[in-house]
C-alpha cells in the first residue's frame, strides 16, 4: 500500500478486507452457489442449459466467484483464465435465459445470509456489488438475439 500524505500510521496499518472475506469467505460462496443451482435444477428455462449432474458447474462457479471476489486463485490454478464469453458461447443465451439466470442468482442472494460480522450497511453495499456484477456479467453472456 502506497503512503498517502496526511495518512496516519493507524490508517496505514488497516489491511484492506476483500468482499470475499467480508461476506463470509468460502463458506458463503459455497452456500450461495448451492442455493443458485438448487433453483436452476427446477427452473424450466435454465435446467435444459445445464447437464443432469451439476457437480462440475457448482464447483466451477463456486471457485470462480471466490477468486473474483478476492479469495484463493484455485479457479485459475485448475482451469486457467475464466474466459467467460468463450466458455458460455456453446449455449444459446438470449434475454430470456439471461433474465432467468439473474432472477435465480438474485433469489439465491436473498436466501443466503452474509457473515454476521458484517454490519447491515456493509451487507447492503456487498449485496449491491454482487448484484451489480451478476447483472453486468449475465448481460455480457447474451449471444443470440
**Which among 55, 38, 42 has a CA at the least distance from the CA of 105?**
38
CA 114 from chain centre, in angstroms, equals 13
Measure the CA–CA gap between 29 and 21, rounded to whole angstroms: 10
pLDDT single digits (tens) 107-126: 999 999 999 999 999 999 99
Structure-block grid coordinates of residue 18: 476483500
Q: How many CB atoms lie within 10 A of CB 122?
A: 16
pTM, two decimals, is 0.88
Q: How many CB atoms lie within 10 A of CB 78?
A: 10
Structural domain spans, the chain: 14-140
14-140 carries CATH number 1.10.490.10:
yes
Q: Give kind and range of the element (H or E) at residue 11.
A: helix 9-13
pLDDT single digits (tens) 71-113: 999 999 999 998 999 999 899 999 999 999 999 999 999 999 9
Amino acid at each position: 500500500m502506497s503512503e498517502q500524505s496526511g495518512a496516519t500510521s493507524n490508517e496505514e496499518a488497516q489491511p484492506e478486507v476483500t468482499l470475499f472475506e467480508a461476506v463470509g469467505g468460502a463458506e458463503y460462496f459455497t452456500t450461495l452457489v448451492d442455493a443458485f443451482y438448487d433453483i436452476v435444477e427446477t427452473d424450466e428455462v435454465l435446467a435444459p442449459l445445464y447437464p443432469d449432474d451439476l457437480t462440475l458447474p457448482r464447483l466451477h462457479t463456486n471457485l470462480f466467484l471466490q477468486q473474483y471476489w478476492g479469495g484463493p486463485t484455485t479457479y485459475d490454478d485448475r482451469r486457467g483464465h475464466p474466459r467467460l464469453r468463450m466458455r458460455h458461447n456453446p449455449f444459446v443465451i438470449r434475454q430470456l435465459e439471461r433474465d432467468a439466470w439473474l432472477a435465480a442468482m438474485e433469489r439465491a442472494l436473498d436466501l443466503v445470509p452474509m457473515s454476521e460480522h458484517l454490519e447491515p450497511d456493509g451487507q447492503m453495499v456487498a449485496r449491491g456489488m454482487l448484484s451489480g456484477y451478476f447483472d453486468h456479467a449475465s448481460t455480457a453472456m447474451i449471444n443470440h438475439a
